[in-house]
Structure 1
Amino acid sequence: MDLLLQQFIPEARDLLESSSRALVALEADPTDDAAINGLFRSVHTLKGTAGIFDIPAFTKLVHAAEDVLNLVREHQIVLEPELVDQLLAGMDLLSHWVDWLGNNGALPSDAARTGAVHIATYRSRLTADAGAEATRRAAEAPTTPDAVPAWVAEFDEVDRLAAASVLASLGEEARLVAVEYRPDPQCFYAGEDPLYAIRQIPSLLAFSWTHREDWEELRAADLFTCRVVLRVLADASRKSVEELFRYVSEQVTICDVAIEDLARLSGPDDRDDASREAVRDWLELAADGDWLGLSEAVGPACDQAGLVGSGARWLSTLLEAPVPPSAAIQAVVRALNGFEAQARVPAALGAAKGASAGASSLADDLIAVQHRILAIAPGTEAWRNRLPSVVETLARVVFATTGNDGREALASALGAALAGGGPEPILSVLARIAAPEPSAPDAGKSTADARDATAVKADGEKLLKVEQSRVDAIMDLVGELVVAKNALPYLSRRAENEFGCRDLAREIKHQYSALDRITQSMQDAIMQIRMMPVGSLFGRYPRLVRDISRKLGKDIELVIEGEETEADKNVVEALSDPLLHIMRNSLDHGIEEAEDRVAAGKRRTAVIRIRAFQEGDRVCIEVTDDGRGIDPARITEKALAKGLIDAARAASMSPEDAVQLVFLAGFSTRDEASDLSGRGVGMDVVRTTVEQMGGDVQLASTSGVGTRILLRLPLSMAVTRVMMVEVAGTLIGIPMETVAETVRVPAASIRRFKQAEMFLLRDALVPLVRMRTRLALSADAEPRESEAVLVCRLHGAPVGLVVDDFNVGIEVVLKPMSGLLAGLPGYAGTAVLGNGEVLLVLNIKELL
């Protein structure tokens, strides 16, 4: 299989699983915008990644689902349960295709046909619901235009002049679009090309780029991370741009640009008395609407490099329009007449803290009016009389938009203006105080931010994806190291007993202790690599509960706790089927109909709770429900009817024992099988699977109250700790998880009843099983004064194994039986000891 395809398959599985979980969660809270955006990003990433491969049916189906989710994200479609069902059905089909792709390297032959059914369903949503919703939202949408960003004026003047020329030729109501595209930093990995996308905008007029705020140094930069911001001006419709970027709309800002937004003067201040006089002439011609005269007047100044030349070029460009835009022309002339202050003040006011777009526009208008008043017959008596009201108005505007109280500064400027006979002092002070003062940084906040940033860097560890086979190979080597380490105690005994080298034996023991410590650390480190949270397993059950509860017409709430609890990857994966059987039984058998629950005084909505926790060296999964529970009498009756027990056993069983009959193979309380239950293979499979992993299952239930099932499994199945015992001269291993304690029982304390033997341990009778007899080995030649008894737990009850003698506990790498011995019951497998001998490890639950 192609290497890229191998990487795509697990990634696609993860994306589809997370998308399904998000859909189920959103059904409960369809207004969660963050979850909707996360779901959309997952599907969008899947579409981009799938586009690399030749799987058109897959890509088309994901694309159609993405279109629907885009409308959901824009609140044009409501995520109702019916739509969730349709999207989940599509996710299921995509998951099936991913599995097929992994096994066969291609999609099924009928993929295009089966995918077309779902695509048609999604497309019908796009044309029906979206149209009505879009119409309604359009009618309710505010008509206030978006504020034009400051970067529009940062385009080169040549580009802005060309764009203004286009706008002028289209009429005063015409608008261009300004587009800012901030691609996702990981967009390259999704198969996106931001530069290609921005070039698809029709009728580009200007282009620029800049870097993000978090631009890195070149040496430390990741070349595969996109850190640029792309900006363009275009003579295109807003709708066409939105359609082009509909899949990344959260990364794009679009606004309309009028001709006055482009007309920003540039160049050094080259004003002199002659240019001032020329600008006043231009102002009079513009006020009279004498466009021909104004065009002739500005022509000679277009070649100048300074501020006046920039204004002349703008006027010349605007005057070339078939119908010159009067408002824009007068705005340029007023800007020239007011000089630098006129160009700077509106921008400063617009960027002021707390100033809305409407307030900024009003401030611009008020200041422009005051400029016109200041420019009318300066130095005359009427002009002097108007100055106090102009200054008062300007002070109020500045305070309202920037928070700066400039009354004193303006009052001083007023005195200077009255003395000098010109508006320059007022304009100069206005340019200085109109910009908001930079606020002092909050020391506490800055410190907290710095601390958070440090924490992010500290916690932001990089992940390295490694094939499981490689980790398993390292684990096997550690297992071999354990076997080799276990040879040292044998070597130590030989050095002392056979060769009489006590000092050498002591040194070997010392080296064994050091090697044992290192081996244990290596084993723990490898185990941590293999550990994974059980939440990865629990994530699929909300969908299961949702689908089955809707099918059965029951109201059921699923509560998940302890998702962060970790266990070996093999253990977590092996738990999948047992938990699936338990959940299906709880949903079908355990939970009553809503009416029955209400009649019994319970909440209408039932609760199924899954809880994971760690208990010593074992991981525990507890599943409880508040359903009808298990009726012991009914269970006994069904088992008797199916011939699974006889009448004598049925009559002697306690209610607790009767409940355990559900684990018998072939047992079912249903008379007819359904797609959920009734085949008699559910709980039997649960117990068998869990016990094969070295775990156990506990079941407790109270009729009318609920049921509790507890699965206890080892954290890892890689290395097994066993207790070695001697039976008829042979060493035999017994897994430590089944061993409760070791005792030596006097022969006189052993009681016999018919064919059974037992002894009393702390006021409890413990049945005895002689291992020589059970394993068909030779019997003892002579009676013993006391018996070595290994007390084990079997289904929660104690049982004593009579052995010849106890040996040591040891860690071994357990290998399953193979060949003709593979089906031999009673044996968990074999292990190689340090002296090279093969140790048989028993499966006590099967043996007894």
Structure 2
Amino acid sequence: MDDLLQHFIVEAHELIQQATDDLLALERDPSGTMHLDSAFRAVHTLKGSVGLFDFAPMGLALHAAEDLLGALRAGQGHIDSDVIDSLLDCIDQTERWAGTIEQTGKLPSDAAEEGYRLARLMRSQLDNGSTSVAPAIPEADLGWVGELMARSDVSTPSREQDKPLVAVRYTPRADCFFAGDDPIALLRSVPDLVAVRLATRDPWPPAAEIDPFACNLRIEVLSSAGLDAVKAAFRFVPDQVKIHEIAQSPGDHAHVAEAGHQFAGPAAGTTGGASARMLRVDAARIDRLADLVGEMVVAKNALAHLAGLAADGLDRKDFAHGLLASQAAIDRLVAEMHRAVMDVRMMPMRDIFRRFPRVVRDIAGHLGKAIDFSMEGEDVEADKAVVEGLFEPLLHVLRNAVGHGAEPEHVRQEAGKPTRTRIVLRARRIGERVMVEVEDDGRGIDPAAIRRVARERGVSSADDLECMSDAEVIELIFAPGFSTASEVTDLSGRGVGMDAVRFAVESLGGQASVRSTQGRGTTIRLSLPLTVVMTRVMAVRVGRELYGIPLDGIVEAAFVPASRILPVRDAEAFVLRDRTLPFVRLADLLDIPRPAEPRSGMKVVVMEVGDELVGIAVDEFAERMDVLMRPMTGILAGAPGVMGTTLLGDGSVLMILDTPELLG
């Protein structure tokens, strides 16, 4: 794909999102001139960028949207839901077009029709607001075609009598010069001209009142070139032309064979499929990487010098000292390089959060519910893969919050609540993890209803359900196929939702949980690692085997005396600082023979699993390390309890365990 087109796509997505944010803010506060100005600038800039390419229908729609926003800025018309809906309709279509361009390098085949529809929609809003930015193109008066035919010598022997003519009426906008249009240059670009007539669009005002920067032309031409060639000449001003193809009968009687109200410019050059992945990075972070690369080159040269001295018979003690110093320097640089690369991949949650106000607005409008939606922690950063991977899970959660959690206004009034359901999307960083929550003050989850549906759908047996606490029952919303919806709609009832949320979050190395109080609301919490590229693990030994456990789930490592390990029914527990915790052996979780246990006690890794702490017994603690984890592939892709693998310095493979899955 062309570099200029790549930059256009990146900029287009940003401007589309900016315009969407401003329009939604404008809907909440129609008097907010700052948001109106910002939306106008975003659309104006996007329209200008589109003008660099052959995407005329896209430019036509954006030009009309710019006119509507300009009229609103000038105080002509008023902002209401219909105006916002029409502008958002245009922005949505522009985003779809940008996605198609990103994939194929050109607009879809129906772009011309859709562009005209959107332009008419914008113009109708201008008409309804009694605004006038540019005169509308009048409906074609076919009399002018006959006059042009009469003025031209269409029956000259040099012309092919059966070849159709193309008639064009071009009425430039009054402000066309400011848009970079040159009507005369466009006229000269029409091939095979047969006749030309220039006239004024409107009567001339008195000489003292003439605006020299306003265009007052109407251009009418006949061409013997093909229809497509004539359309191509006017591809950047399709909203200002009427094009008609005129068939010639054998008796030299011309008639209009086709009215060219549909415009489609020539296809842009095709590109190579999907576009390259691009990421905007702060220049300071790139500078830091460059500095570290320079230091690593110095360290490499020092190591090469040391190797040369060793070949010359350097004293063994001096060699060992130099080797250790070099290794320490490289360790430091690798750690700093790791942090610098992670910083490059970091993205603020804002990049994904800002897509949801529009989603919530549309779902609430579809269901007829009043929602007060807000966001917190938009500046919290996480790895690019984590941020982008959150879109689908959060979309499911927000749909549920609006569809299931939000009550009708009269129900909330009867319960003494505000009429609008409050939904908060929140992000915060806790240690090496990022917590993303969706909290609502709606009806909450009824454990009795969950028990009934789980029993009816065979999600869990009646005996198991009776033994579960309310909190455990509520967790069943994450079970595959579980849904409390009574009927299938566009938004719910298909049994796909919260199980997809948990699967997506766990595939990112995270966990999903739910807290709910009936009548007071629900909170869905997604706990995710800051990065999924490099992972810090603690190596532990069980028998002769070495395994890795991600450090982000480890609370502490402890030694538990044998006297504190107590049997509890079929399991075991231990006391740690006056708190009783479940005690499990890693050998049992991995289904391998237990090694001999020391009489004095056991080494335990205390881990946080959900909201609980669990002690996992191991034989030995090994080192902590940063590893590049590779996911399991091939026949091992579905291996339970294993997140991935990494290579150790001696070439052996270290398996990194998914302890929450093993414990589940």
TM-score, reference length from structure 2: 0.72
**Residue of structure 1 aligned with 2:466, choices 651, 667, 686:** 651
Secondary structure in 2 aligned to 1:697? strand
1:129 is the counterpart of 2:129:
yes
Q: Structure 1's 104 and 757: CA in aligned 2 closer, same or farther, altered over 3 A?
A: same
Q: Secondary structure at the match of 1:603?
A: coil
CA deviation map 1:414-434 (0-9, x unaligned): xxxxxxxxxxxxxxxxxxxxx
Q: Which has the higher strand share?
A: 2
Matched residue SS, 1:812: strand
Higher RCO, 1 vs 2 (CA within 8 Å, ≥6 residues apart): 2
Q: Which residue of 2 aligns with 1:111?
A: 111
Task: Provide closer, same or farther for how the CA distance between residues 577 and 243 of structure 1 changes in structure 2, counting only shifts above 3 A.
Answer: farther
Query: Judging changes above 3 Å, is the alpha-carbon distance between structure 1 residues 243 and 95 closer, same or farther for their aligned structure 2 residues?
Result: farther
Q: What is the match of residue 817 of structure 1?
A: 632
Aligned counterpart, 2:543: 728
CA distance in structure 2 between the aligned counterparts of 1:70 and 1:111, rounded to whole angstroms: 24
Give the helix-richer structure, 1 or 2.
1
The equivalent residue for 1:30 is 30
Could you tell me how far 1:596 is from its partner in structure 2?
0.4
Give the secondary-structure state (helix, strand or coil) at the position aligned to 1:799: strand
Q: Of 584, 589, 602, which residue of structure 1 is paired with 2:404?
A: 589
CA distance in 2, matches of 1:49, 1:93: 16
1:556 aligned partner, one-letter code: I
Alignment correspondent of 1:515 = 330
Residue of structure 1 aligned with 2:476, choices 650, 661, 667: 661
What secondary structure sits across from 2:649 in the alignment?
Answer: coil
Question: What letter is aligned with 1:114?
Answer: E
Q: Summarize the alignment of residues 504-543 of structure 1 with structure 2, pairs less than 5 Å apart.
A: 507-543=322-358
**1:631 matches 2:440:** no
Q: Are the equivalent residues in 2 in contact too, given 1:26–1:35 (CA < 8 A)?
A: yes
* Partner SS, residue 613 of structure 1: strand
Counterpart residue type for residue 13 of structure 2 = R
Q: Quote the Cα distance in structure 2 between the aligned partners of 1:132 and 1:510.
A: 77
TM-superposed deviation, 1:19: 0.9
Shift of 1:670: 0.9
Aligned partner of residue 413 in structure 2, secondary structure:
helix
Q: How has the CA–CA distance of structure 1 residues 674 and 506 changed in structure 2, closer, same or farther, with 3 Å as cutoff?
A: farther
Give the equivalent residue in structure 1 for 2:269. Answer: none
Match of 2:642 among 804, 816, 827: 827
Matches of residues 141-152 of structure 1 in structure 2 within 5 Å?
none
Match of 1:610 among 414, 425, 436: 425
1:562 lines up with 2:385 in the alignment: no
Residues 154-197 of structure 1: per-residue CA shift (max 9 Å, x gap) = xxxxxxxxxxxxxxxxxxxxxxxxxxxx99xxxxxxxx769x79
Letter in 2 for 1:124: S
CA-CA distance at 1:504 after TM superposition: 5.5
Aligned to 2:554: 739
How many angstroms does 1:22 deviate by? 1.0
After superposition, give the CA deviation of every residue in 1:627-665 in whole Å (9 maximum; x if it has no partner): 111122222222222111111221122222222221222
2:506 equivalent in structure 1:
691
Matched, 1:8 2:8: yes
- Structure 1 contact 77–133 (Cα < 8 Å) conserved: no
Asked if the contact 2:554/2:607 (under 8 Å) is kept, the reply is yes
- Contact preservation (8 Å) 1:612, 1:621: yes
**Counterpart-to-counterpart distance in 1, 2:27 and 2:102:** 31
Residue 88 in structure 1 maps to residue 88 in structure 2: yes
Separation (CA, whole Å) in 2 of partners of 1:68 and 1:825: 57
In the alignment, is the contact (CA less than 8 A) between 2:542 and 2:595 conserved in 1?
A: no
Shift of 1:592: 0.7
1:345-380 Cα shifts (integer Å, max 9, x gaps): xxxxxxxxxxxxxxxxxxxxxxxxxxxxxxxxxxxx
Counterpart secondary structure, 1:130: coil
Q: In structure 2, do the counterparts of structure 1 residues 648 and 504 end up closer, same or farther at CA, with 3 Å as the change threshold?
A: farther
Contact in 1 for aligned 2:71/2:131 (Cα 8 Å): no
Larger displacement relative to structure 2 (26-35 or 92-101): 26-35
Structure-2 change in CA distance of 1:127 and 1:511 (3 Å)? same
Q: Report the Cα offset of residue 465 of structure 1.
A: 4.9
Q: What secondary structure does 2:613 align onto?
A: strand
Q: Where in structure 2 are the equivalents of 1:158-177 lying within 5 Å?
A: none
Looking at structure 2, the residues matched to 742 and 686 of structure 1 have their Cα atoms a distance apart, in angstroms, of: 31
Matches within 5 A, 1:763-778: 763-778=578-593
Is the CA contact 1:772–1:779 (under 8 Å) kept in the aligned structure 2? yes
Gaps (5+ residues) in structure 2? Answer: 135-176, 187-205, 217-278, 304-309
Q: Secondary structure at the match of 2:425?
A: strand
CA distance change for structure 1 residues 561 and 58 in 2, over 3 Å: closer, same or farther? Answer: same
Hey, what's the Cα distance between the residues in 1 that align with 2:88 and 2:640?
Answer: 44
Contact kept, 8 Å, 2:67 with 2:133, in 1: the verdict is no
Are the aligned partners of 1:695 and 1:711 in contact in 2 as well (CA < 8 Å)? yes
Larger radius of gyration between Structure 1 and Structure 2: 1
- The AA in structure 2 aligned to 1:11 is E
Q: For the Cα contact (< 8 Å) 2:433–2:552, is it kept in 1?
A: no
Post-superposition offset of 1:593: 0.5
Alpha-carbon RMSD = 3.7
Q: Give, in angstroms, the shift of residue 516 of structure 1.
A: 2.7
Q: How many angstroms does 1:2 deviate by?
A: 2.3
Query: Cα offset for 1:829?
Result: 0.8
Structure 1: state its 5+ residue gaps.
Answer: 135-181, 184-191, 201-233, 245-463, 489-494
Distance in 2 (CA, whole Å) between partners of 1:502 and 1:700 is: 62
Matched pairs, number: 525
Query: What is the CA–CA distance in structure 2 between the aligned matches of 1:734 and 1:133, rounded to whole Å?
Result: 66
Superposed, 1:20-59 pairs within 5 Å as 20-59=20-59
Please state whether the residue corresponding to 1:737 is helix, strand or coil: helix
